[in-house]
Amino acid sequence: MASDDKIRVIIVDDIAETRENIRKLLQFESDVEVVGVARTGREAIDLAKEVKPDVALMDINMPDMDGIAATEQIQRVLPYVQIIILSVQSDSNYMRRAMLAGARDFLTKPPTIDELNSAIRRAGARAHEERAKTGAPSTSQPAKPGVMAPVAAPLSTLGSVITVFSPKGGVGCTTLATNLAVSLHSEDTRVVLVDGNLQFGDVAVFLNEQSKFSIADLAPRVAELDPEIVDSVLIKHAQSGIKVLAAPVKPEYADNITGDQFGKVLLYLRQMFSYVIVDTVSAMNDTTVNAIDASDLIVLVANQDIPSIKSARLFMDVADAFGIERKRILFVMNKFDKRVGVTPEKVGETLKQDVAAIIPLEERVIVSINRGVPYILVDKARPISKSILSLTEVIRQRLTELEGLEQPVAKLRKKK
């Protein structure tokens, strides 16, 4: 059969095993060719633009952008691509949303070979018809046999620094920083999580890791860093793949690290990682100021209690006074409990800042912290994980919008 007549399929799923199983099911179908795989919604869009498939087999729940949002965007640029949603939920609400986004079919996981084949053939025939109507060529470049199309490359060569901060302690900065780091991480968008609480940092503990190396080993050598030195100091968190730059093992070692050194280490890490996530203490000390200074984005965290909101407002005043643009700040309400009368909208009004995400109160968070496993790795389906994934998406979007603007914040130190 000529390769032009084959149905060209991409498989989109964050779980490698699922992708592989589907690929195996399809490998003996002579008229079906798997031309690429993607692990996230965003990768799926880039891949679709590159290989212009006939059919996309699309998972719904994925890190960064979910399958429904990806479906919508692929349909917008490549309307002839037929999207088949694969999901464990046979929920009619999901189905309706997927169809509204432009999906053509809906299969429950795991599909049988017959279900898969008949859905792909229906979709393939339709894609060929639609292409013929629009005059679009039926393939882009011929795929090399046995070679998967490359997954999307990171947007820019310099990574982004994101500081998670709250002027009040205990609101959930470290919880959020660790979970965000894990959810932003992929093989192509590598993440390093930096502990900016130099005296009593607990980032490593949140990940059930320990190391005798830390930021204290890098700070004095900040002028002569190289990737090998940096890598030898970082902890690799095996479960998620992220790297961690831990706080010094003893509080007194923090005295030897200047804010300036800390900021320079962050800017160096931007060359090695797509995302540098910084967890901070709830004080505008030299370390925090330099972290904010080096940041592209600041995630400002508060809870529903008045002291926390008051502190967030004071921080906003400082940020305004120092000329930090509002679009560089993402305000997040954590531990949200709808029984508490203070609504996120009201808080947003007080701060004159949109609410970027609402993370619900989840009692089980403490269990995951004590086990040293970020919640997002425990249960992706719960509301808290979904809200973290949605914040991850807001972050990616905001960073794309900010691209091209003078970066990073770099305002606080100049005015001091």
Ligand X SMILES: Nc1ncnc2c1ncn2[C@@H]1O[C@H](COP(=O)(O)OP(=O)(O)OP(=O)(O)O)[C@@H](O)[C@H]1O
What minimum distance in Å lies between the beta carbon of 288 and Mg ion? 12
CB nearer ligand X, residue 136 or residue 361: 361
Binding flags for ligand X, 17-56, as an x/- string (CB under 6 A): ----------------------------------------
**348 versus 360: smaller Cβ distance to ligand X:** 360
Please choose, from the candidates 188, 170, 171, 191, the residue with its C-alpha nearest in 3D space to the C-alpha of residue 180.
191
Q: Residue 273's closest CA among 189, 156, 378?
A: 189
Of 138-146, 165-173, 206-214, 216-224: span binding Mg ion (CB under 5 A): 165-173
Pairing of strands 243-245, 235-236: antiparallel
Q: What is the DSSP string of 253-322?
A: GGGG--HHHHHHHHHHHTTT-SEEEEEE-SS--HHHHHHHHT-SEEEEEE-SSHHHHHHHHHHHHHHHHT
**Stretch 150-169: interaction string toward ligand X, x if CB under 6 A:** ----------------x--x
Q: How far is CA 385 from the centre of its chain?
A: 12
Residues 346-385 that bind Mg ion (CB under 5 A): none
Instruction: Enumerate residues 314-343 that contact ligand X by CB under 6 A.
Output: 334-335
* Single-letter amino acid, residue 242: I
Task: Answer yes or no whether residue 174 interacts with Mg ion by CB under 5 A.
Answer: yes
Can you tell me the distance from the alpha carbon of 193 to that of 152, in angstroms, rounded to the nearest whole number?
A: 23
Window of 117-125, 173-181, 345-353, 358-366 that interacts with Mg ion by CB under 5 A: 173-181
Q: Is 366 in the site for ligand X (CB under 6 A)?
A: yes
Helix axes 16-26, 113-134, angle to 10 degrees: 80
Which strands make up the sheet holding 160-165, listed edge to edge? 235-236, 243-245, 191-196, 275-280, 160-165, 297-302, 329-336, 355-360
Residue 282 touching ligand X (CB under 6 A)? yes
Instruction: Give whichever of 107 and 205 is closer to ligand X, judged by the CB atom.
Output: 205
Question: Total residues at the site for Mg ion (CB under 5 A)?
Answer: 2
Residue 179 in contact with ligand X, rule: CB under 6 A: no
Helix axes 259-269, 286-293, angle to 10 degrees: 30
Question: Cα(269)–Cα(217) distance, rounded to whole angstroms?
Answer: 14
Give the C-alpha separation, 363 to 378, whole Å: 14
- Interface with ligand X, residue 359, by CB under 6 A: yes
Instruction: Give which of ligand X, Mg ion, none residue 166 binds (C-beta under 5 to 8 Å, depending on kind).
Output: ligand X
Closest CB to ligand X: residue number = 169
59 vs 362, beta carbon nearer ligand X? 362
Interface characters, 367-396, with ligand X (x: CB under 6 A): --x--------------x------------
Which residue, 42 or 335, is less far from ligand X as judged by CB? 335
Query: What is the C-alpha separation between 182 and 191, in angstroms, rounded?
Result: 8
Residues that bind Mg ion (CB under 5 A): 173-174
Residues that bind ligand X (CB under 6 A): 166, 169-175, 282, 334-335, 359, 361-362, 365-366, 369, 384
